[in-house]
């Protein structure tokens, strides 16, 4: 049904409540990402253009204004091209909704949709070797409950390859013990559920931790102080502390960085090195497409190329071989705060 004459504010509220959270039922993480994009946009309009959120019109968010906003994200806030593109994606999604609900705004929606994404650089894939992951876990103080918890969290992240959000939202009921083993189930990105087995060492650590902490049933595995469960930043902070201690006795780690997502990359690279095929790794990590997992194959080939170059001097067949580079196949702010 057409919503002719609806204001920018009315359409934005309808998009969030009726479309994203109602009709499409997107995850809280996706809604939060879209909310943050518009909070930044409205803040920019107020600070840079002198337009209060309650007075914003569609003309204020035209093509030129949107390009200026994206430039501000890059220059003033130092956002990467990937982050800028995420904000742009949210605004384009809103424009598509407006075009369907308000046909008279189709020209505005087309102008917004015509804004090009920023070119993203392709950074070197960060990952740790299994030995380096063990060093990080060993750097946790086994003499304290917090240290044992952190070591178990590192083991769990590496064993499962779960995203940090999936890890902090685990409950005691997420684990199924039986037949001498354990499986853990999560509901990840796109609300896709998946279950993976745990190594005996990880299973023992989880069992001991839950017994010591008295965690059972639907209780969160990592409870927070003032929130239901540990936050993503809280998990990152614990991992940063362990990695910092490990780096003091392991010089190789000083050249690397370690985040929860680094451990996810490390899981994929360890599986690839063990000969696991990309389709299985994609299923394990919960990727929508194998093409998403292909970056690990590229990274693995680059490591093999460097190894070939180092071994060139031991080639018994004449001239030093030239490694060939692998090429893969081709009021409003308050409303937003309340979401």
Q: Which of 236, 261, 294, 295 is catalytic?
A: 261
Radius of gyration of the chain (CA): 24
Catalytic, 171? Answer no
Angle, vertex CA 99, rays to CA 98 and CA 103, nearest 5: 115
Q: Which of 35, 87, 238, 264 is catalytic?
A: 264
Cβ neighbours, 10 Å, residue 180: 7
Q: Identify whether the C-beta of residue 91 lies closer than 8 Å to the C-beta of residue 66.
A: yes
Cβ neighbours, 10 Å, residue 256: 15
Q: Which of 189, 194, 245, 295 is catalytic?
A: 189
Catalytic, 34? Answer no
- Alpha-carbon distance of 77 to 99, in angstroms, equals 30
- Alpha-carbon distance of 220 to 173, in angstroms, equals 9
- Alpha-carbon distance of 306 to 323, in angstroms, equals 8
Catalytic, 325? Answer no
Catalytic, 116? Answer no
The conformation of residue 56, written as its DSSP 8-state character, comes to -
- Alpha-carbon distance of 318 to 312, in angstroms, equals 10
Q: Which of 35, 87, 149, 163 is catalytic?
A: 163
Catalytic, 326? Answer no
- Enzyme catalytic residues: 163, 189, 261, 264, 287, 296
């Amino acid at each position: 049904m057409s919503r002719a004459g609806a204001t920018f504010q009315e359409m934005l509220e309808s998009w969030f409540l009726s479309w994203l959270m109602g009709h499409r039922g997107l995850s809280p993480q996706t809604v939060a990402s879209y909310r943050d994009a518009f909070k930044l946009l409205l803040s920019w309009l107020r600070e840079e253009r002198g337009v209060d959120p309650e007075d914003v019109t569609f003309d204020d968010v035209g093509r030129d204004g949107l390009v200026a906003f994206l430039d501000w994200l890059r220059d003033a806030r130092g956002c990467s091209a990937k982050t800028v593109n995420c904000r742009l994606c949210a605004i384009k999604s809103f424009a598509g909704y407006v075009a369907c609900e308000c046909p008279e705004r189709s020209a505005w929606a087309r102008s917004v949709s015509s804004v090009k994404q920023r070119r993203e650089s392709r950074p070197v894939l960060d990952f740790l070797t299994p030995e380096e992951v063990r060093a990080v876990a060993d750097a946790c103080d086994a003499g304290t409950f917090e240290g044992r918890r952190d070591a178990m969290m590192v083991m769990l992240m590496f064993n499962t390859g779960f995203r940090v959000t999936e890890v902090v939202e685990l409950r005691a009921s997420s684990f199924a013990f039986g037949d001498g083993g354990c499986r853990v189930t999560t509901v990840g990105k796109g609300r896709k559920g998946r279950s993976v087995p745990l190594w005996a060492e990880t299973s023992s650590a989880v069992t001991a931790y839950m017994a010591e902490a008295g965690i059972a049933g639907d209780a969160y595995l990592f409870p927070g102080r003032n929130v239901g469960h540990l936050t993503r930043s809280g998990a990152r902070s614990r991992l940063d502390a362990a990695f910092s201690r490990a780096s003091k006795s392991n010089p190789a780690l000083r050249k690397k960085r370690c985040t929860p997502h680094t451990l996810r990359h490390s899981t994929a690279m360890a599986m690839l090195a063990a000969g696991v095929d990309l389709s299985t790794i994609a299923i394990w990590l919960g990727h929508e497409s194998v093409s998403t997992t292909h970056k690990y194959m590229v990274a693995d080939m680059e490591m093999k190329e460097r190894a070939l170059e180092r071994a060139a001097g031991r080639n018994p067949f004449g001239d030093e071989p030239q490694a060939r580079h692998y090429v893969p196949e081709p009021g409003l702010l308050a409303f937003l705060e309340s979401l």
